[in-house]
Amino acid sequence: MKAVSQDRANGSLYLAEVPVPQPSKGEVLVKMTASPINPSDVSFLRGTYVHRPKYPVIPGIEGSGTVIASGGGLLPGLRLGKRVACSSSEGMGGTWAEYMVTSAMRVIPLSKTINMEQGSMLIVNPMTALAFMHIAREGKHKAIVNNAAASVLGQMLVKLCGKEKLPLINIVRRTQQVNLLKAAGAKYVLNSTDKDFEEQLKSLSHELNATLFFDAVTGDQTEKLLSAAPFGSRIIIYSNLTGGPFQAEPRLLIQGNKSIESFYLGIWSLKRSIVQTLKTARQVQALAGNELGSFIKAKYPISQAQVALDGYIENMTGGKVLLTME
């Protein structure tokens, strides 16, 4: 089969001919159709992702396709022949290939209303967005804050918070992104490059009693969030777009009764039952046509994966970039 491959961290992508993998018990073989490029994929390719691969490696965290073979077991048998959204299993090869083997627990049957392109983007961003809303409801937070808010995930939160009438403070870093979110219906949008950004954030956070902060940027912005946050706030780090460490003044945590936590979708999902996971999957598909749908700005065959990646990194807002296998 043809598969995108990388020989080292930050190495160039190339198309390789490799054997079609064979599923073992509890696993399925998926004939892939499409796969998006996500920020987590960029982190993986740079070697800064949570899991360090053994090279050469086939990248790709999520995608869509059809289950064409079962390695044995009840769940793999039930998935056989199904159109599915899927995610890769650690150490088993990724979604940027014509075929992929993964755990049957990592495939979600698609409803007839979801096409393969939207299905390929059904897991990472939509599931994360719903997880954030669950965390907000569970913690009874009155308002939330999200940075890197012009991302696809950020735009999903704008729609979900609007639907649930939960105030959301969006943080971006360019005027164009302010306009983008305002046009999408966002009420509160702050530009982190403004001279009075920290004062604006503190004032608005206290006014709305926003005590839940989602931080994808980290670096020096984490301490700015901590400083602006009301008493008793939670800062949840879910990405590291700066690529470096962050510092926090301990007194802000101790005297403000504030906390810094982490979020990783895979770990969060493992804590939930299969019934809860399937319920969330159904909810994602029900909302895929509106709140959790993704605009596709470009599509490339896997033979042009490096071109697709370069274009995505140059502009990570404004829509998704897909790799296609058919």
Domain ranges of the chain: 2-121+294-324, 125-266
Closest among 317, 300, 94 to 216, alpha carbons compared: 317
Tens of each residue's pLDDT in the chain, 326 residues? 999 999 999 999 999 999 999 999 999 999 999 999 998 999 899 988 777 788 999 999 999 999 999 999 999 999 999 999 999 998 899 999 999 999 999 999 999 989 999 999 999 999 999 999 999 999 999 999 999 999 999 999 999 999 999 999 999 999 999 999 999 999 999 999 999 999 999 999 999 999 999 999 999 999 999 999 999 999 999 998 888 888 888 999 999 999 999 999 988 988 888 788 878 888 888 888 788 888 899 999 999 999 999 999 998 887 899 999 97
Predicted local distance difference test score (pLDDT) of residue 83: 97
Predicted local distance difference test score (pLDDT) of residue 187: 97
**Residue found under tokens 């073989």:** 29
Query: What phi and psi, each to the nearest 5 degrees, are found at residue 193?
Result: -90, -5
Predicted local distance difference test score (pLDDT) of residue 319: 85
Domains 2-121+294-324 and 125-266 share a fold: no
Helices (H) and strands (E) in the chain, counts: 12, 15
- Domain 2-121+294-324, classified CATH 3.90.180.10, yes or no: yes
Distances (CA, A) of 245 to 6, 42, 51, 240: 26, 18, 18, 8
CATH of domain 125-266: 3.40.50.720
Distances (CA, A) of 161 to 66, 87, 204, 233, 288: 33, 26, 17, 19, 15
DSSP structure class, residue 97: B
Predicted local distance difference test score (pLDDT) of residue 96: 98
**What is the Cα–Cα distance from 185 to 227, expressed in whole angstroms?**
27
* Total Cβ atoms within 10 A of residue 315: 11
Which amino acid is present at 120? S
Query: What phi and psi, each to the nearest 5 degrees, are found at residue 97?
Result: -155, 165
Enter the pTM of the model: 0.90
Which amino acid is present at 29? L
